[in-house]
Structure 1
Amino acid sequence: MEETREEQADGAVARVAAIDIAKASGVVCMRLPHEDREGRRVQQVWTVASTTNAVLELGDRLLCQGVQRVVMEATGNYWKPFFYLLEARGLECWLVNAREVKNVPGRPKTDKLDAVWLAKLAERGMVRASFVPPKPVRQLRDLTRTRTAFTQDRTRHKHRVEKALEDAQIKLSSVVSDLFGVSGRAMLDALVAGERNPRALAELARGSLVNKRELLVEALTGQFEEHHSRLLRILLETVDHFTRQISELDRHITMLLNELAGPAAAAEHDDAPTTAVGRPGPELVERLDAVPGVGATTAHIILAEIGLDMNRFPSPEHLVSWAKLCPRTIQSGTKNTTGPAGRGNPWLKGALGEAANAAARTDSFLGSRYRRIVKRRGHAKALVAVARSILVIAWHLINDPDARYQDLGADWHQRHLNSARRTRDLVRQLQALGHQVTLAPTA
């Protein structure tokens, strides 16, 4: 052990370890109080392989030393073996944002110095833990993220199908709104099977496309060769493969959500305080599904990304700030400005963005909110505002077992708008159109 002279700050963690993690190893810095000299600290730095046995041995060693907290930076996926294995050993693990624990510029940078610096910050309480959900929610998150990735891959292959048709002068997408609907897919399969007669292909139309057969004949007249047939068959098989995998993931997600219902029942029998921990997943999905723009898939992603325990986020504002759906406040002297919100969780923000885009087209409170904001702030900021509202609603639905979504109505803003303010806004709109407005009270 090497003795150091730093004094322990008030509220510091007495026994702490920090790990600077790389792909194949991690540098560990353990800092403890001196056994004989009060106010003194001792530290030890060593390298540990990132294999399972080595990490488990590290956990036993830290437990023997009475380490209270283990801190590590979020470095790709390399932190996960250390975090999960040490957490399973019973240690309190903190994952911190690497951007927030940078060393002082100009100082030498090595793995050892980074580990020592991180340990010093941790023992003084100068780090903030990132949100790492419990294991069942992490498993749900893996499934929903894989489903999102597969859905995106399937969409890309559908675009490749359309590109292959365009290369063969088949303009089917100009007439058919969905190439992979009943009629479109039947025509694609017939093309792969060897059918080249445009009229025979057009006879496969169903529903409203029956009235567009002449347009279909024109669109299906092209230069479709055997090369295009082979390519189209491979692409369609790939699309079908992704569809089957997505269905399998949906089944596993539903099963896992049903399993998450277990702890809630146990908590009720133990007279535990009402929290969102372990609340039946299917019920939460059903309640989130009632929000305009939010479907079952979006509800799955929301639950997987923020978890079922809102104790981690004391208020909706905390959750919105964590998701980076509110502007950053910048204050200097008497000047207050706002800055970019930041990147946030891309999986959550992507799902909320799609939900907000869908809600914007509905005749609901959220749709009215979008149309009200888009006039003066633009499309992007209006979508962020609606996404923020959806996340706040989700927080209340997850946090309160009795909460149910009730739409306020598309006319809510009109009913609660000050009449003088509404008059002023209408006058401005007329003036912007070139009219001269004179107001006179009615008799």
Structure 2
Amino acid sequence: MEESKDDHDDGSVARVAAIDIAKATGMVCLRIPHDTIEGRRVQQVWTVASTTNAILELGDRLVCQGVQRVVMEATGSYWRPFFYLLEARGLECWLVNARDVKNVPGRPKTDKLDAVWLAKLAERGMVRASFVPPKPVRQLRDLTRTRTVFIQERTRHKHRVDKALQDAQIKLSDVVSDLFGLSGRAMLDALAAGERNPRALADLARGSLVKKKPALAEALTGQFEEHHGRLLGVLLGTVDHLTTQVQELDRLIADLMKQTTAPYDTGGPSDGDDTGGPSVRDGVTAQELAERLDAVPGIGPATAQIVLAEIGLDMSRFPTPEHLVSWAKLCPRTIQSGAKNTAGPAGKGNPWLKGALGEAANAAARTDTFLGARYRRIVKRRGHAKALVAVARSILVITWHLINDPDARYQELGTDWHQRHLNPARKTRDLVRQLQALGHHVTLAPTIVA
């Protein structure tokens, strides 16, 4: 019989508080041992307003009661004031997924009963904490997510510009690959300023578009009216405003990454520490980690910033790369029943992280590198989507090692790495498949074990 480590440490907590959070209030349940009767517990339930003073007063009360852990359910963004203020008060705060703390069927559904149920689960160690990064990483995450939203909005407004041109019978996007390039933007500004002569607009072409002036003049011939000019001016102004905001966010992100450092456990006792515990040093800034990640195929400076903002700079939260991959939902769930083992859906995961890794995987798949070879090897038998997920998983594993080790650097393995590390049986099967694909009749003899 296999013995589990959970049998020794069940994660139970003697003094616990749970908060069922709403928009304006929070229902608090406090459960602590009875002072005189062994085995009995005292339970108190009350309502707290979600204002700063009320939450600070709640923190003082919980500290006086010796509460060891405060557990709250992730409810929109309303959990943030409770979590941040109680954490600053010195309490250990756990944010738990609502899916993991569902009430049992058949019980009434009220805020009070939800708080009591959450407290009972927490004191018995039946909940797990979600990943909430420290304050500097949270600030970096706010900036990178806002920048991503602004870039998406800018793209949407660029598409609206093309729709306005199509409404006016202007087919500029059929000739110009980038409407907002040097030549395309000059023509758009001239249209918004009142220029209507197709030849005059075509003369604004620069670079390789100079050879396409006749096609440009034909594409710029339409029914562009004053209404379209006013609409185009508004849309161009919005695009320029968003571009300015994105540039400002780039500056703020760069400044914050230079100020944020990653903690590393050196393994020895810290300076002035008589307990002999491990020391923690801050030696690598987030900017240096981003430059390190930039060497990975498919990852650019902006993608590296997003990845660091989403997974943090301290990999002690994820003991192994597999923990990080599982948290990011880039591996299938194992479902086992009897003798049957199947793979279930991975889940949604962090959309900001998965979006950045998807773009990185798509870029790495087009390179002549280890990651590109991995994509081309998997896409033949698993398809495009699953091959991209596999490459994204590899990128995340590489990222874990580059962040976890302060001296790690990316080293390209080469496109033939898989072939060099295949076992002989796998190589033989691959060779047989290649010969069969060429029309040769080749079969493998069965292996007889004495």
Deviation at 1:94, TM superposition (A): 0.2
Aligned ranges for residues 21-420 of structure 1 at < 5 Å?
21-261=21-261, 279-417=284-422, 418=424, 419-420=427-428
For 1:39 and 1:10, locate their aligned partners in 2 and report how far apart those are by CA, in whole Å. 17
* Unmatched runs of 5 consecutive residues or more in structure 2: 1-8, 272-276, 444-450
Partner Cα distance (1:81, 1:340) in 2:
33
CA contact (8 A) 2:262 2:314 kept: no
What is aligned with 1:3?
Answer: none
Q: Structure 2 vs 1, CA of residues 363 and 11 (structure 1 numbering), >3 Å: closer, same or farther?
A: closer
> Which residue in the other structure is 1:421 paired with?
429
Deviation readout 1:290-329 (Å, 9 max, x if unpaired): 1111001100011000000000000000000000000011
Give me the whole-angstrom Cα distance separating, in 2, the residues matched to 1:153 and 1:381.
Answer: 29
CA shift for structure 1 position 11: 4.8
8 A Cα contact 1:19 1:72, kept in partner: yes
The answer on whether the counterparts of 1:171 and 1:219 sit within 8 Å (CA) in structure 2 is: yes
Q: Measure how far apart 1:106 and its partner are.
A: 1.4
Which secondary structure state, in structure 1, belongs to the residue aligned with residue 334 of structure 2?
strand
SS across alignment from 2:284: coil
Farther-moved stretch of structure 1 (265-274 vs 172-181): 265-274
1:16/1:31 contact within 8 Å kept: yes
TM (norm. structure 2) is 0.91
Cα offset, 1:416, TM superposition: 3.7
- Could you report, residue by residue, the CA deviation over 1:410-432 in whole angstroms, capped at 9, with x for unpaired residues? 232344444412312213433xx
CA contact (8 A) 1:276 1:400 kept: no
Taking the aligned partners of 1:263 and 1:162, their CA distance within structure 2 comes to: 48
Residues 1:267 and 1:77: Cα distance change in structure 2 (over 3 Å)? farther
**Deviation of 1:214 (Å):** 1.4
C-alpha deviation, 1:194, in angstroms: 1.2
Paired with 1:269 and 1:248, the residues of 2 have a C-alpha distance of: 42
In 2, distance between residues paired with 1:292 and 1:155? 25
Q: Cα distance, 1:161 vs. partner?
A: 0.6
TM-aligned CA deviation for residue 261 of structure 1? 3.1
Q: Structure 1 regions of 5+ residues with no counterpart?
A: 1-8
Q: Share of identical aligned residues, percent? A: 78
Q: Which amino acid aligns with 1:138?
A: R
Q: CA deviation at 1:402?
A: 1.0
Instruction: Give the 3 Å change call, closer, same or farther, for CA 297–345 of structure 1 in structure 2.
Output: same
- Report the alpha carbon displacement of residue 177 of structure 1 after superposing the two structures with TM: 0.9
Shift of 1:264: 7.3
Amino acid at match of 1:165: L
Paired with 1:411 and 1:398, the residues of 2 have a C-alpha distance of: 26
Q: Which amino acid aligns with 2:379?
A: V
Question: Which residue of 1 is the match for residue 447 of structure 2?
Answer: none
Cα displacement (A) at 1:91: 0.4
Using the TM superposition, give the Cα deviation of residue 221 of structure 1 relative to its aligned residue in structure 2, in angstroms.
1.1
Q: 1:204-255, CA deviations, whole angstroms, 9 ceiling, x for partnerless residues?
A: 1111111111111111111111111101110011001000000000100011
Taking the aligned partners of 2:266 and 2:12, their CA distance within structure 1 comes to: 36
| In 1: Cα distance, 2:183 partner to 2:386 partner | 38
- Whether the aligned pair in 1 keeps the contact of 2:262 and 2:285 (CA below 8 Å) is yes
Cα offsets for 1:70-92 (capped at 9, x unmatched): 00000100100000000000000
Q: CA deviation at 1:262?
A: 8.5
**Is residue 336–residue 342 contact of structure 2 (8 Å, CA) maintained in 1?**
yes
Q: Is the 8 A contact 2:265 2:280 kept in 1?
A: no
- Amino acid paired to 2:314: D
Contact preservation (8 Å) 1:154, 1:239 = yes
SS, match of residue 196 in structure 2: coil
Contact 1:276 1:399 in 2 (8 A): no
Question: 1:176-198 CA distances to partner (integer Å, 9 max, x unpaired)?
Answer: 11111111111111111111111
Matches of 1:352 and 1:58, distance apart in 2: 40
The residue type paired with residue 303 of structure 2 is: T
- Cα root mean square deviation, aligned: 2.1
